[in-house]
Chains A and B, each alone.
Chain A
């Protein structure tokens, strides 16, 4: 038979002063863990949120990112008339050959320099990416050296305000609009006219094709056709699939989060252990009394484990709350695939909260285990005599 749960809860709460440090310690461990994982989740979410499930993206085989891909104009001529590709009312194939260029630009407030992903995009390519909307200014005029930058990047880079201009290569580019990618990877891009981009950066080749097939079946066929054609060294896959796989940047952050969590939890377990040893020490006689009343060892151990787990749980809740404060906060780093600045938000997902809480409780229970067992192992008579 178990001791009432309120015995554990009240004991945990009644000593709040002496347990405060432990609760805070566990809270910070959980905070660090959840925060780093939410960062990784944010990166994954932003790239997982990108693309239209109907679209197919073609890049060079072997290129891990669109920006590192090169496709010849010959390939474009060959592919654009494939009958799997949907047509507009006027009979033009719905395919966009984009050019991606990395440009090195200064950050605001002398924050050093970073690479920005510049996408030379066709009108067709804009239609294929309805996620991208204009939030300020206007779209670029084809044939002019105008650029529409991501509003989120505009906050981070110098000369990105409307009407300002920056130099890259031989060209002076004027910012005429701000775009919003709706939380997708497009939030980390700047768009300009595809032909202009190829002219300015002397690109004879394309970087990628974005294609709308006639239907699902045609899409599958198209992927197989491009992949199997010996003439092409190209890789075709669904646009959403391509972006979903862009998770390299998140991996080391996840790893760091895990590493820190493990290291810190060692400290947290010690803290919980000390707190509970002290708690048990101060209540030796009380525990003796419970045993005299007929409670078995197991009941005492369970009650103390609940107490320690509950304490740690409180810490976990606090840690998750601290991490949640950052939820949605926009930040940016160097994307490993694109090699450019990628913008994303901290995402404290429900799963992460649960993971954080479970993690906290485990720390609490492990820390309590030894003290609890020690308390229950004390002979009743010794427990009673102890002052």
Chain B
């Protein structure tokens, strides 16, 4: 029998406890990874090339304050802008939804929007149909799938923000953008229902190049400084991060709670594993009596504890990985989460915690072993 064999035999002897320990490590690490995934998803917006090119221009007062439509003429003269469209969040509740609809609807100028959603794949004839019909809209594939919508269907909305309840005809379904959920429709249609108020929610701008994007942002802010409607232009990413910052204390709180959660589970796990080893005290005493040195006993304890923790890590982190990759999280979370991706960094972090756990759990029994004499250890026989 080799030493490794001996360690394995030892660990496997009490299968019930082995599985309990491994499972509790696995559950803790699973939760740890899932919390990280969720936190990342909520605080870290999608970052692709398009989103750093795109700029959102809103009223400096707040997002809820509209902008005058006449600003378009000024904006069009700003150098470095490749495309620009009015972009108004309609805030519609899709028929049947009481308080919350999982996708957004935006009023845009369709002809001007196409260069802004270059990554969207839409058949040419659908785009043409959209441009042609004032009451039509295009729908993201995720939303279309979710509600079983197809071209030719009609969608009715009640707006939470505007006194205009609208009905759109679906003429196209797009996919391939970072968020294939939104509905785009004609700004003109919204304007008409509101009696042409001459306002837009925000402007959606595409810079000519990534290098120029910060300059464009600055130019836009400058252009309307000290006007009756000052604006705040920022990259799409900064815009989304602004929302995250609005969460305020809750974000810190959830972060703090995640720490507590993980700490609680680690505490429990460490104690579980220490208990497993402490129960083997008599054996360790016998080994000592036979002539094993303290160092070798430490190695036994550490190897077992480490092995347990790592096995738990594989199950927990692996489980989280599999779950996050196979679940249709968008559907499950009602559109709150989109990607739910386990990054290599999280996997690394999970395993580091597992390793730490293995060492920590071994510490207490090792200390006791070091302090206990052979005679005392053998006494615990009884």
Query: In their complex, do chains A and B touch, with some C-beta pair under 8 Å?
Result: yes
Residues of A within 8 A of B (CB): 18, 20-22, 24-25, 28-29, 31-32, 35-36, 39, 60, 62-65, 67-68, 70, 101-104, 107, 111-115, 156, 168-170, 201-202, 233, 248, 252-253, 256, 260, 263-264, 266-268, 270-271, 273-275, 277-278, 281, 331-334, 339, 341, 387
A263–B262 CA distance with the chains assembled, in angstroms? 11
Are A263 and B27 touching (Cβ within 8 A)?
A: yes
A334–B263 CA distance with the chains assembled, in angstroms? 28
Among A70, A274, A387, contact of B21 (Cβ-Cβ < 8 Å): A274
What are 16 A-B residue pairs whose CB atoms fall within 8 Å in the complex? A25-B264, A28-B264, A29-B264, A63-B160, A68-B160, A101-B64, A101-B65, A102-B64, A104-B63, A260-B257, A263-B27, A274-B17, A277-B16, A331-B248, A332-B248, A334-B247
Q: Given A267-B24, A274-B20, A281-B279, A103–B61 Cβ distance below 8 Å?
A: yes
Among B28, B61, B93, contact of A267 (Cβ-Cβ < 8 Å): B28
Are B61 and A168 touching (Cβ within 8 A)?
A: yes
B357 within 8 A of A: no
Chain A residues contacting B20 (CB-CB under 8 Å) are 270, 273-274, 277
Beyond A62-B93, A253-B250, A334-B243, 19 additional contacts (C-beta under 8 Å) are: A20-B271, A21-B267, A21-B271, A24-B267, A32-B257, A60-B163, A102-B64, A104-B60, A112-B246, A115-B64, A169-B61, A169-B230, A233-B163, A260-B257, A267-B24, A270-B23, A274-B17, A331-B249, A333-B248
Nearest CB of chain A from residue B250's CB, rounded to whole Å: 4
B381 within 8 A of A: yes
Are A387 and B382 touching (Cβ within 8 A)?
A: yes
Nearest B residue to A204, CB-CB? B197
Chain A residues contacting B242 (CB-CB under 8 Å) are 112-113
Chain B residues contacting A334 (CB-CB under 8 Å) are 243, 246-248, 250
B165 within 8 A of A: yes
Among B63, B160, B381, contact of A387 (Cβ-Cβ < 8 Å): B381
Are B279 and A267 touching (Cβ within 8 A)?
A: no
How large, as a class, is the contact surface on chain B?
A: 35 or more
A113–B62 CA distance with the chains assembled, in angstroms? 10
Among A22, A115, A263, A331, contact of B246 (Cβ-Cβ < 8 Å): A115
Chain B residues contacting A263 (CB-CB under 8 Å) are 27, 30-31, 261
Are B165 and A62 touching (Cβ within 8 A)?
A: yes
**Is chain B's interface secondary structure helix, strand, loop, or mixed overall?**
helix
Q: Given A103-B61, A104-B61, A170-B228, A64–B264 Cβ distance below 8 Å?
A: no
Chain B residues contacting A68 (CB-CB under 8 Å) are 64, 91, 160-161
Are B249 and A333 touching (Cβ within 8 A)?
A: yes
A202–B91 CA distance with the chains assembled, in angstroms? 22
B270 within 8 A of A: yes
Are B161 and A63 touching (Cβ within 8 A)?
A: yes
Residue from the set B93, B275, B276 with the largest chain A CB neighbour count within 10 Å: B275
Nearest CB of chain B from residue A178's CB, rounded to whole Å: 20
Are B275 and A274 touching (Cβ within 8 A)?
A: yes
B159 within 8 A of A: yes
Nearest B residue to A67, CB-CB? B64
Contact with A along B84-122 (1 / 0, CB 8 A): 000000010100000110000000000000000000000
Closest 10 CB pairs of A and B: A21-B271, A112-B245, A28-B264, A25-B268, A271-B268, A333-B250, A102-B64, A270-B24, A102-B62, A104-B62
Residue from the set B100, B271, B276 with the largest chain A CB neighbour count within 10 Å: B271
Among B28, B257, B265, contact of A35 (Cβ-Cβ < 8 Å): B257
Are A201 and B249 touching (Cβ within 8 A)?
A: no
Chain B residues contacting A63 (CB-CB under 8 Å) are 160-161
Chain B residues contacting A156 (CB-CB under 8 Å) are 248
Chain B residues contacting A253 (CB-CB under 8 Å) are 250
Q: Given A67-B64, A334-B248, A264–B163 Cβ distance below 8 Å?
A: no
B158 within 8 A of A: yes
B254 within 8 A of A: yes
B260 within 8 A of A: yes
Nearest A residue to B159, CB-CB? A62
B305 within 8 A of A: no
Are A115 and B62 touching (Cβ within 8 A)?
A: yes
A28–B263 CA distance with the chains assembled, in angstroms? 9
Among B61, B162, B270, contact of A101 (Cβ-Cβ < 8 Å): B61
Contact with A along B332-349 (1 / 0, CB 8 A): 000010000000000000
